[in-house]
Chain A
Amino acid sequence: MAAEALPRLGEVSPVVRLVRRLVPYVGYTLLITAALSQIVPFVLTVANSFKCLPAVSAAPIAFLPTPPFFVECQADGVTRSASETTSGITFNPALEGYQSVFEANLGRWLFNTAFIALAIMLLRLLFDSLAGYALARIRFPGNRIIFTIILGTMMIPGVVLLIPRFIILKQLGMLNAYSGIIIPLMADAFGIFLMKQFFESIPNEIEEAGQVDGANRFIMFFRIILPMATPALTALAIFSFQGAWNNFLDVLIVLGGNQDLWTLPLGLSFLRGGSGRTLIWNEFLAGSVITTLPMAIIFFAFQRYFVEGVNYSGLAGQ
């Protein structure tokens, strides 16, 4: 008798069925909330960078651009009031922020950032893979000790090295020069470690086959081993480029003394201002957009590799 009260196999109670039907919606709601929390700030950054200054203060959440486009923010030398360029939800886009940010030398900072990030990335690809290969494949006295020392440098917090590095660069006359930021950062322990681990996973037989065919070490490295290491090289390239693009502290110490050598992070911090400077929102946000855009484009173009890189290295955000 009691068994009849139990539901038959495959039949579920209405409550469970309701819960099951609701689960996807709960999931969607959570995902949409999470996505909005990331997207809304970005949309507002872009929208506010295109507003006249009074409109930023009066209607920071206005996000719909409406014609007339590219209005002037000044009329006869007088700043136009917020109500003339925004309705609270819509706004007339203006280029004031972009004009003033380019007057503030942004073009130069963009070039510097790209140049430094590219140089550091290319040099790291070369030196990290050479060093990683040597440590993985070539037996020489002190091999293990050198690797341990290189790994040991990863344990030292970067800020500790700031002042010694500043003093050494000063003595070498490399302050306020591209070389002062590129040379100290052209090889790094993490990259060497990453490459060494990868090269060790490549079977020895491949190199032995190369040796039989008469290839020397360099031919083997550049023609055979390096092309096989594309996943590791991609990961290294992405991390290096991103790290160099966003680097603030090293650049401040080495290049802070010459405005023409600044990078975008320094420039943005300059626009944000210190004591005594009021933040000019549209100018600052225009700078943020220009700083973010290249990285965003690179990310979307190489999204697959980014994810692979993170998977491969197992060290997201290094």
Chain B
Amino acid sequence: MRLTRTLFMALMLVVSMGAVSAQDQTTIMLAGWSSSDSENAALQAQIDAFQAANPDVAVELNLVPDYDTFMQTGFASGDYANVFYVDSSKLQDWASAKVIAPIGDQLTNVEGIYESLRSVFTYDGQLYCPAKDFSTLTLQYNIDMFDAAGVAVPTTWEELAAAAEALTTADVAGLTVNPELARFLPFLYQSGGAVLDAEGGVALDSDATRAAVQAVVDLFVNGYARTATDLGAGWAGEAFGQGKVAMAMEGNWVIQYLEDNFPDLNWGVAELPAGPAGKATMAFTVCYGVADPESNVSQTPEALAASIRLVDFLTGDEGAMMVGESGFGPMPTRGVAAEPWLSARGEAFKPFVDGAEYAYPWSFPPGFGTFIDTFNTNLVEATKGNLSVDEFVTSAAEAAQEAVDELN
């Protein structure tokens, strides 16, 4: 009886102590999707380092499947994660819906983040969230095939076309690239074109666009470029790994994939060939969005402060160094951490880092989904020769104009 009572008292004490310490601690949830296991582990290590330095904050890391559905339900109910991944293509949608708060002016040394990555997450003149990490598009080439054909790595459009021609055989295509906007945009920027001008008007109907389309269409019509599907592969990285193609244009995600699946492949990386207007590539990036207290009941003033501190740590100099040293696929967002990333990953991957200086964001205003669909469908037709370059450019400009009109 006595023992029971003592045990009960002890239990009560433990419970009440737990309650006290729970009151002192602010718990915030960080939601995202799963990347590779090594990447997930690196993020957990960053969070552990943050918690060691900030014992008053408890961070729950929550990597969910079907992330968009999970977040949309949360947004609709007004109760969602305090900090969460925001893909660059979602930024304008989510910022205009006011589910993320602009915290750019509350971060330390925000200038250390690459300018191109800051502009991706700037909406209405405000920096909403700092980029977590990023990938750029580069040219991957099969060294054995290049040696056999005696071709140098292309650095211009002309050299790209010549190399693709020389490398194309009955079994192997010179280049694989999907006829879609995300892979076409580098060509457009390399020729000095753009989808929208600085004022938000449509700038597609230009000679620069026509030149870029012509360059891409020529590669396909002559049979030097083929799609991954056409080559019997699921995506460009697979076709490249299987040796069905000599060159591919993919991003950082291709590194780990090729090393895991095709350990024998002898491949190299180069910057995308420059066009008439110079170099350009695409940056695909994700930021840590902080929930807007106005639309999220769990974003209390304490949670908001803790969320900003967490994001500042994860993307600050120290956090970027941790991303760099872990050396997984995507790269740290600060120039200071480029060296550790290269030494962890290998100097051969420098073209990925170099792209950060001249990369354009993968980001569109809300409601541009239909434009992208129309663009992709018509580009496929153009590469098959069913649509002339002029017809294609006119149709793309019209689709963009519709999207812009819808917006205003």
Q: A82 vs B241: C-alpha distance in the bound complex, in angstroms? A: 12
CB distance from B259 to the nearest CB of A (A): 7
Given A256-B70, A276-B253, A277-B35 in contact, is the A163-B76 Cβ separation under 8 Å? yes
CB neighbours (8 Å) of B257 from chain A are 278
Instruction: Indicate if A141 sits at the interface (CB-CB under 8 A).
Output: no
The 9 A-B residue pairs with the shortest CB-CB distance in the complex, in nearest-first order:
A269-B65, A274-B33, A270-B65, A57-B261, A79-B263, A278-B257, A81-B264, A163-B76, A276-B35
B103 sits at the interface (CB 8 A): no
Instruction: Using A57-B238, A257-B62, A277-B34 as known contacts, say yes or no to A252 and B261 having CB atoms under 8 A apart.
Output: no
* CA gap between A174 and B87 in the complex, in Å: 30
- Give Cα A57 to B330, complex, Å: 23
Q: Which of A11-41 touch B at CB < 8 Å?
A: none
When the two chains form their complex, are residues B260 and A280 in contact, meaning their CB atoms are under 8 A apart?
yes
Render A90-132 as a binary contact track against B, CB cut-off 8 A, 1 for contact. 0000000000100010000000000000000000000000000
Do the beta carbons of A166 and B66 come within 8 Å of each other? no
Q: Give B232-254 as 1s and 0s: 1 = Cβ < 8 Å from A's Cβ atoms.
A: 00000110011000000000010
**Chain B positions near chain A (C-beta within 8 angstroms):** 29, 33-37, 39, 62-67, 69-70, 73, 76-77, 79, 87, 237-238, 241-242, 253, 256-257, 259-264, 286, 329-330
Which of B65, B66, B241, B330 has a CB less than 8 Å from the CB of A276? B330
A252-B69, A257-B29, A259-B62 as given contacts; A81 in contact with B263, CB under 8 Å: yes
A167 to B290, CA, bound (A): 21
Contact of A278 (CB < 8 Å), options: B36, B87, B263: B36
Q: Name the B residues within 8 Å of A267 (CB-CB).
A: 65
A110-165 residues with Cβ-Cβ distance < 8 A to B are 162-163
Q: Which residues of B contact A167 (CB under 8 A)?
A: 77, 79
Contacts of B262 on A, CB cut-off 8 Å? 54, 57-58, 82
Q: Does A170 have its Cβ within 8 Å of any Cβ on chain B?
A: yes
- Please tell me if the beta carbons of A166 and B77 are within 8 angstroms of each other in the complex: yes
Give complex CA distance A83, B76 in Å: 52
Asked if A53 meets B65 with Cβ closer than 8 Å, knowing A170-B77, A253-B70, A273-B34, the reply is: no
Number of interchain pairs (Cβ within 8 Å): 97
CB-based contact B77/A57 at 8 Å = no
- Interface residue? A78 (CB, 8 A): yes
Set of chain B residues within 8 Å of A100, measured between Cβ atoms: 37
Q: Is the CB of B242 within 8 A of A80?
A: no
Q: Closest residue of chain A to B87, judged by CB? A: A275
The answer to whether the Cβ of A232 comes within 8 Å of any Cβ in the partner chain is: no
User: Which residues of the other chain, A, contact B237 by a CB distance below 8 angstroms?
Assistant: 278
Given A276-B286, A277-B35: A170 touches B79 (CB 8 Å cut-off): yes
Instruction: Tell me the bound Cα distance from A266 to B261 in angstroms.
Output: 25
Chain A 218-261 interface 0/1 with B at a Cβ cutoff of 8 Å (1 = within): 00000000000000000000000000000011001100111100
User: What's the minimum C-beta distance from B129 to chain A, rounded to whole angstroms?
Assistant: 17
Chain A nearest CB from B8 CB (Å) reads 26
Q: Which residue of A lies closest to B31 (CB)?
A: A257
Which B-chain residue is minimally distant from A265 (CB atoms)?
B65
When distances are taken between beta carbons in the complex, the residues of chain B under 8 Å from A182 are none
Chain B nearest CB: distance from A141 CB in Å?
37
Chain B, Cβ-Cβ closest to A170? B79
Q: Does A285 contact B (CB under 8 A)?
A: no
In the complex formed, the residue of B with least CB distance to A277 is B35
- Taking the complex as formed, is A56 at the interface, i.e. its CB lies under 8 A from any CB of chain B? yes
Complex CA–CA separation, A83 to B262 (angstroms) = 11
Query: Whole-angstrom distance between the alpha carbons of A280 and B256 in the complex?
Result: 11
Tell me whether A259 and B73 are in contact (CB under 8 A). Answer: no
Q: In the complex, which of the residues B63, B77, B263, B330 contacts A259, with contact meaning CB atoms closer than 8 Å?
A: B63
29 contacts between A and B (CB under 8 A): A54-B260, A54-B261, A54-B263, A57-B241, A58-B242, A79-B260, A79-B263, A80-B263, A81-B263, A81-B264, A163-B76, A163-B77, A167-B79, A170-B77, A252-B64, A252-B66, A252-B70, A253-B73, A256-B65, A266-B65, A270-B64, A272-B65, A274-B33, A274-B34, A275-B33, A275-B87, A276-B330, A278-B237, A278-B256
With the chains together, A190 CA to B67 CA distance in Å? 30
Q: A252-B70, A257-B29, A275-B33 known; A53 and B64 CB under 8 Å?
A: no
**Contacting residues, chain A, for B77 (C-beta < 8 A):** 163, 166-167, 170
**Apart from A273-B34, A278-B36, A278-B260, 8 more pairs, CB < 8 Å:** A57-B242, A57-B261, A82-B264, A253-B69, A253-B70, A275-B286, A276-B286, A278-B237
B73 contact set on A, CB distance < 8 A: 162-163, 166, 253
A273 to B34, CA, bound (A): 6
Give the complex CA separation of A276 and B33 in angstroms.
9
Which residues on the A side are within 8 Å of B238 (C-beta)? 57
Residues from chain B with a CB closer than 8 A to the CB of A280 are 260
A residues near B79, Cβ cutoff 8 Å:
167, 170
CB distance from B232 to the nearest CB of A (A): 11
**Interface of chain A residues 162 through 182 with chain B (CB within 8 A):** 162-163, 166-167, 170
Residues of B within 8 A of A79 (CB): 259-260, 263
- List A47-99 residues whose CB lies under 8 Å from chain B: 53-54, 56-58, 78-83
Indicate if the CB atoms of A274 and B29 lie closer than 8 Å. no
On whether the beta carbons of A274 and B67 are closer than 8 Å, the reply is: yes
Residue in A56, A274, A277 whose beta carbon sits within 8 Å of that of B261 in the complex: A56
- A23–chain B nearest beta-carbon distance, Å: 37
Interface centre among B65, B79, B259, B330 (most CB of A within 10 A): B65
Inter-chain contact B256/A270, CB cutoff 8 Å: no
Min CB–CB distance B407 → chain A (angstroms) = 25
Residues of A within 8 A of B33 (CB): 273-277
B261 touches A53 (CB 8 A): yes
Measured CB to CB, the closest approach of chain B to A102, in angstroms, equals: 13
Within the complex, the shortest CB–CB distance from A303 to chain B, in Å, comes to 32
Q: Find the B residue at minimum CB distance from A276.
A: B35
Q: Could you tell me which residues of chain A, from 262 to 313, have a CB within 8 Å of some CB in chain B?
A: 266-267, 269-270, 272-278, 280
Task: Provide the bound-state CA to CA distance between A166 and B77, in Å.
Answer: 7
Q: Given the complex of chains A and B, what is the CA–CA distance between A163 and B80 in angstroms?
A: 12
Q: How far is the CA of A250 from the CA of B175 in the complex (A)?
A: 44
The residue in A54, A81, A278 that gathers the most chain B C-beta atoms within 10 A of its C-beta is A278
Instruction: Please report the C-alpha to C-alpha distance between residue A163 and residue B71 in the assembled complex, in whole angstroms.
Output: 11
B257 CB, nearest partner CB in chain A, Å = 4
Looking at the assembled complex, report how far the CB atom of B337 sits from the nearest CB atom of chain A, in whole angstroms. Answer: 18
| Interface flags, A1-16, vs B, CB<8A=1, else 0 | 0000000000000000
Chain B hits for A83, CB < 8 A: 264
* CB pair A269 B62 closer than 8 Å: no
A221–B52 Cα distance when bound, in Å, is 61
Question: Which residue on A lies nearest to B33, using beta carbons?
Answer: A274
